[in-house]
Amino acid sequence: MVNLRLIITGTPGTGKSTLAEYLSKKLKLPLYNLTELIKQNTQLEKEYNPELETLEIDEAELKKFLNEFFRDKTSFILEGHLSHLISTNLVDLCIVLRTENKVLFKRLKSRGYSNNKIKDNLEAEIFNQCYEEAKLNKHKLLTVDTTFFNFEENTKDLDLLTDFLKQVGLIK
Protein backbone atom coordinates (compact mmCIF):
# COMPACT_ATOMS: atom_id res chain seq x y z
CA MET A 1 0.00 0.00 0.00
CA VAL A 2 1.27 3.47 -0.87
CA ASN A 3 0.97 6.50 1.39
CA LEU A 4 -1.36 8.68 -0.63
CA ARG A 5 -4.32 10.78 0.49
CA LEU A 6 -6.47 11.28 -2.57
CA ILE A 7 -9.88 12.81 -3.06
CA ILE A 8 -12.00 12.49 -6.18
CA THR A 9 -14.70 15.07 -6.79
CA GLY A 10 -16.91 16.08 -9.69
CA THR A 11 -20.50 16.41 -10.75
CA PRO A 12 -22.63 13.27 -10.38
CA GLY A 13 -22.19 11.05 -13.44
CA THR A 14 -18.57 11.97 -14.19
CA GLY A 15 -17.17 8.62 -13.00
CA LYS A 16 -16.01 9.29 -9.45
CA SER A 17 -17.05 5.94 -8.00
CA THR A 18 -15.69 3.96 -10.93
CA LEU A 19 -12.33 5.73 -10.87
CA ALA A 20 -12.11 5.50 -7.07
CA GLU A 21 -12.81 1.75 -7.09
CA TYR A 22 -10.18 1.19 -9.78
CA LEU A 23 -7.51 3.26 -8.00
CA SER A 24 -8.35 1.69 -4.64
CA LYS A 25 -7.74 -1.81 -6.05
CA LYS A 26 -4.71 -0.84 -8.13
CA LEU A 27 -2.99 1.14 -5.36
CA LYS A 28 -4.34 -0.96 -2.46
CA LEU A 29 -5.77 2.12 -0.74
CA PRO A 30 -8.81 2.12 1.54
CA LEU A 31 -11.81 3.68 -0.20
CA TYR A 32 -14.39 5.89 1.48
CA ASN A 33 -17.61 6.86 -0.26
CA LEU A 34 -18.82 10.23 0.99
CA THR A 35 -22.50 9.35 0.55
CA GLU A 36 -22.07 6.27 2.77
CA LEU A 37 -20.21 8.28 5.42
CA ILE A 38 -23.05 10.81 5.48
CA LYS A 39 -25.68 8.06 5.78
CA GLN A 40 -23.77 6.65 8.76
CA ASN A 41 -23.58 10.10 10.38
CA THR A 42 -27.06 11.57 10.15
CA GLN A 43 -26.09 14.73 12.09
CA LEU A 44 -24.64 15.94 8.76
CA GLU A 45 -28.05 15.90 7.10
CA LYS A 46 -30.22 19.01 7.04
CA GLU A 47 -33.33 18.18 5.07
CA TYR A 48 -34.55 16.48 1.94
CA ASN A 49 -35.06 18.74 -1.10
CA PRO A 50 -37.94 17.17 -3.05
CA GLU A 51 -37.50 19.52 -6.02
CA LEU A 52 -33.95 18.30 -6.63
CA GLU A 53 -34.56 14.86 -5.13
CA THR A 54 -31.54 15.16 -2.89
CA LEU A 55 -30.58 15.39 0.74
CA GLU A 56 -29.31 18.81 1.79
CA ILE A 57 -26.08 18.63 3.79
CA ASP A 58 -24.74 20.95 6.47
CA GLU A 59 -21.43 21.75 4.75
CA ALA A 60 -19.82 23.29 7.85
CA GLU A 61 -20.60 20.17 9.87
CA LEU A 62 -19.45 17.96 6.99
CA LYS A 63 -16.11 19.77 6.84
CA LYS A 64 -15.61 19.33 10.60
CA PHE A 65 -16.54 15.66 10.36
CA LEU A 66 -14.19 14.99 7.41
CA ASN A 67 -11.28 16.75 9.11
CA GLU A 68 -11.78 14.72 12.29
CA PHE A 69 -12.41 11.40 10.51
CA PHE A 70 -9.35 11.65 8.22
CA ARG A 71 -6.97 13.48 10.57
CA ASP A 72 -4.84 10.42 11.44
CA LYS A 73 -5.20 8.52 8.17
CA THR A 74 -2.07 8.41 6.01
CA SER A 75 -3.55 6.56 3.04
CA PHE A 76 -7.03 6.76 1.58
CA ILE A 77 -9.26 7.64 -1.31
CA LEU A 78 -12.35 9.72 -0.57
CA GLU A 79 -14.84 10.05 -3.39
CA GLY A 80 -17.92 12.22 -3.57
CA HIS A 81 -18.99 15.48 -5.10
CA LEU A 82 -18.38 17.34 -1.82
CA SER A 83 -15.13 15.57 -0.91
CA HIS A 84 -13.21 18.76 -1.72
CA LEU A 85 -14.52 20.27 1.53
CA ILE A 86 -11.84 18.37 3.48
CA SER A 87 -8.89 20.49 4.64
CA THR A 88 -6.00 20.68 2.20
CA ASN A 89 -3.44 19.63 4.81
CA LEU A 90 -5.12 16.20 4.91
CA VAL A 91 -4.93 15.63 1.14
CA ASP A 92 -2.08 15.07 -1.31
CA LEU A 93 -4.14 15.49 -4.48
CA CYS A 94 -7.68 16.38 -5.48
CA ILE A 95 -8.80 14.88 -8.78
CA VAL A 96 -11.71 16.77 -10.34
CA LEU A 97 -13.59 14.80 -12.99
CA ARG A 98 -15.29 16.62 -15.86
CA THR A 99 -17.57 15.31 -18.60
CA GLU A 100 -18.95 16.97 -21.74
CA ASN A 101 -22.57 17.99 -21.17
CA LYS A 102 -24.22 15.83 -23.84
CA VAL A 103 -22.53 12.72 -22.46
CA LEU A 104 -23.27 13.75 -18.88
CA PHE A 105 -26.93 14.32 -19.78
CA LYS A 106 -27.17 10.74 -21.12
CA ARG A 107 -25.49 9.30 -18.03
CA LEU A 108 -27.82 11.16 -15.67
CA LYS A 109 -30.91 10.29 -17.73
CA SER A 110 -29.92 6.60 -17.65
CA ARG A 111 -29.84 6.82 -13.84
CA GLY A 112 -33.47 7.92 -13.87
CA TYR A 113 -32.79 11.43 -12.60
CA SER A 114 -35.65 13.91 -12.90
CA ASN A 115 -35.39 16.83 -15.32
CA ASN A 116 -34.84 19.23 -12.38
CA LYS A 117 -32.03 17.11 -10.98
CA ILE A 118 -30.41 16.76 -14.41
CA LYS A 119 -30.65 20.52 -14.98
CA ASP A 120 -29.09 21.26 -11.58
CA ASN A 121 -26.19 18.87 -12.20
CA LEU A 122 -25.60 20.12 -15.75
CA GLU A 123 -25.45 23.68 -14.45
CA ALA A 124 -22.92 22.61 -11.83
CA GLU A 125 -20.81 21.06 -14.60
CA ILE A 126 -21.15 24.08 -16.91
CA PHE A 127 -20.00 26.43 -14.15
CA ASN A 128 -17.24 24.01 -13.09
CA GLN A 129 -18.57 24.12 -9.54
CA CYS A 130 -16.52 21.29 -8.00
CA TYR A 131 -13.28 22.59 -9.51
CA GLU A 132 -13.95 26.17 -8.41
CA GLU A 133 -14.80 25.09 -4.85
CA ALA A 134 -11.72 22.84 -4.66
CA LYS A 135 -9.59 25.71 -5.98
CA LEU A 136 -11.06 28.07 -3.36
CA ASN A 137 -10.09 25.50 -0.72
CA LYS A 138 -6.53 25.59 -2.17
CA HIS A 139 -6.29 21.89 -3.04
CA LYS A 140 -3.58 20.62 -5.37
CA LEU A 141 -5.73 19.90 -8.42
CA LEU A 142 -5.70 17.51 -11.31
CA THR A 143 -8.60 17.81 -13.75
CA VAL A 144 -9.49 14.73 -15.78
CA ASP A 145 -11.97 14.77 -18.65
CA THR A 146 -13.88 11.48 -18.53
CA THR A 147 -16.09 12.17 -21.55
CA PHE A 148 -14.52 9.42 -23.62
CA PHE A 149 -13.29 7.15 -20.84
CA ASN A 150 -14.50 3.63 -21.40
CA PHE A 151 -14.51 2.34 -17.85
CA GLU A 152 -16.22 -0.95 -18.63
CA GLU A 153 -14.34 -2.25 -21.67
CA ASN A 154 -10.73 -1.53 -20.79
CA THR A 155 -8.52 0.18 -18.28
CA LYS A 156 -6.18 1.92 -20.73
CA ASP A 157 -7.40 5.40 -19.75
CA LEU A 158 -7.23 4.52 -16.07
CA ASP A 159 -3.71 3.13 -16.46
CA LEU A 160 -2.64 6.44 -18.03
CA LEU A 161 -3.79 8.18 -14.87
CA THR A 162 -1.83 5.87 -12.58
CA ASP A 163 1.22 6.32 -14.85
CA PHE A 164 0.83 10.09 -14.41
CA LEU A 165 0.64 9.72 -10.62
CA LYS A 166 3.93 7.77 -10.79
CA GLN A 167 5.59 10.39 -12.98
CA VAL A 168 4.78 13.23 -10.59
CA GLY A 169 6.04 11.20 -7.64
CA LEU A 170 2.77 10.64 -5.80
CA ILE A 171 3.10 6.86 -6.09
CA LYS A 172 5.95 4.43 -6.84
Cβ atoms of 13 and 108 within 8 Å: the answer is: yes
154-168: average pLDDT: 81
Question: For 8-12, 29-33, 59-63, 153-157, which range has the lowest pLDDT when averaged over its residues?
Answer: 153-157
- Single pTM value for the model: 0.93
Instruction: Return the closest-CA partner of residue 52 out of 124, 118, 104.
Output: 118
pLDDT digits (tens, 9 = 90+) for 90-144: 999 999 999 999 999 999 999 999 999 999 999 999 999 999 999 999 999 999 9
Domain borders along the chain are 5-161
Q: Tell me which architecture the domain covering 5-161 has in CATH.
A: 3-Layer(aba) Sandwich (3.40)
Cβ atoms of 118 and 105 within 8 Å: the answer is: yes
Give the whole-angstrom CA distance, residue 77 versus residue 122: 25
pLDDT value of residue 156: 79
pLDDT value of residue 92: 96
Question: 152: Cβ–Cβ under 8 A, 6 or more apart, which residues?
Answer: none
